[in-house]
Structure 1
Amino acid sequence: MLIFFFATLITSQLSATAQTGPLKVALAGLSHDHVYLLMQHYKQGEVDIIGIAESDPALINKFKKNYHLADSLFYKDLSTLLKHKKPEVVMAFDPNSAHLSVVKICAPFHVDVMVEKPLATTVKDAEQIVSLAEKYHIQVLTDYETSWYASNQTLYSQVKADQIGDIRKMVAHDGHQGPKEIGCSPEFLSWLTDPKTNGAGALFDFGCYGANLMTWLMDGKAPLAVYATTRHIKPDIYPRVDDDATIVLDFPKATGIIEASWNWPYNIKDLEVFGKTGYLQAVDPNTLRERKGKESDFSIKKLDVPVAPFQNYVAYVTSVLRGQLKPGNDLSSLQNNLIVVKILSAARQSAKEGRKIYLK
């Protein structure tokens, strides 16, 4: 009996240690350039990478050399990795079109998943991901850079505290000079500029940010209809996909306008919200511009990093997977991101057919 007691105590202590140490992560793919931010978290000891599924020898050698990764970390595919390792989460840094395949492999192993935005390239894939997550009781979270902006978090809190009245209009600007122009890796560009693997061009790459934020502000409700136009301004650089998009979302009492582009003179990710009695603009990660009530001018606030665990995706994912936070309608939640894919898919159809698409 005493031996059993000590064995139970040791097991409990080991379990507690596992739940308080760095997040145990396996990587599915290395071709998405956002993986480099994850590698910074790894270098700082905030995650423990216990396995990497990657088949490209050049990418494997690149990461081994740059981050001093052991040969034993690498596996030819994700299924083989999960037969040998038990991560807390698989983080997918592969093409958007591969996200469903990652979830199909992870779900039977009861391993949670984080993907880079957007969740999927088609509504069918997104719905299958939701079905698998429900069947196997796993989390599937989606990472957006803008989720961790103090400005967006503060803007949302003020809207929900009724500081600017009912929302009338939302405008999101998201874009930069273009993925090739800013120096994205060849591996990333190869699928980012492919309509099958990315879903579209700027329409999906940057349109997803505004769709995600507006769904959040609308309490997880989808728009009634979507209308979109796309442009092909640089066909010599991006021959297969759009490089500029405008999406209009019709809500019962509000309008959302998403401007997404690979043609802007600099990087921009901002969000404007016009309420019945006030205005808020998340200018950049740490700047909020506002004007409320009878104020005669705008005020600008400089903000600190968001309150934990909303400072970055590693902190957030760790908190969710260890039972400290429920995603609900958070920006990373499945509920939100299924709607995002529906918006993007309708926008793609609208741009192709030249008409407004009504969502079911």
Structure 2
Amino acid sequence: MIDWRLARSTGARLSRPGPDVSPGQAAEVVEQLRVAAARSQGPVREYTGLAAPTDATPILVVDRPRWIEANLGSFSGLLGPALDKLDERSNPMLRRVGGAVSGAELGAVLALVSSRVLGQYDPFWTGPRGEPGRLLLVAPNIVQIERKLEVDPADFRLWVCLHEETHRVQFTANPWLRDHLRGIVQEFLDQTDSESMAHVVEQIGRALRGEIELSLTELFQTEEQRRLVGRATGVMSLLEGHADVVMDGVGPEVVPTVATIRRRFTQRREKASPVDRLVRKLLGMEGKLRQYKEGAEFVRAVVDRAGMDGFNAVWTSPETLPSHEEILDPELWLSRIHA
């Protein structure tokens, strides 16, 4: 269903170059990001109250093509088994043509996203010695944004690392979370057949031609798929909102210019061009921005009522995670868990 090699070559070919930096500047950025990632560990651990190992997570400072390659590796590992089943049931000719089309489209989408993402914790990667997860920091994008915002580079790099370190802690302090998310993805894929995949390709094409407005979250519409999307949305809203709350809560202690960074970063996010807004909608990024906001409001409301220890009950098991409805109404979660 997906030609992974074509996706990789397409992504590398279409990814745009980053900002101009000299070799010396590039080396300095890499070193500062590594230092910032290490510095963020203590403050995040103290603020969240979550205990996580600090020496088992590779920290990779990457460029855009390397970010694309890393994500394709994780995608193929996560989606491969389910896609292989679809391959077995599809026509060989359709499989070859569909795999090329899907591979090219996936590579193009990742090339687009690769110029926007600042950092990422990849929970589904497994290292050669079985170590789970890795932290990716996309150096050219971080440099590009800090220049556009005209903020202190060292402060901005630490601020970004606080967010990504929070994601690392969420997963490494709660190992069951990785398998839980993987299970949701696998359930979703089990509900998808080759006809559904063809429908997705067709709808994306129509959206790109301007025939319809479309968000990726609207592509799959069976009752079971909507249920699974709702479960995933609740988890992702929690993770993103929690990371935003932590980076702003820790920030004043360790990032002197955090108020300026947050103000300018938010203003830039809200003043996106019409083209940027279209891209965000097509890629589901508008939904991700809502996840930051809704998740952060949930976390703050629960911490205000129950304290950080009371909030940390979310990490007990899959049953204590909030649903999307509970994210939107924290009182529902509080009454269920802390009745």
Larger Rg computed on CA atoms: 1
Q: Which has the higher helix share?
A: 2
Q: Which has the higher strand share?
A: 1
| TM over 0.5, shorter chain | no
TM-score by length of 2: 0.23
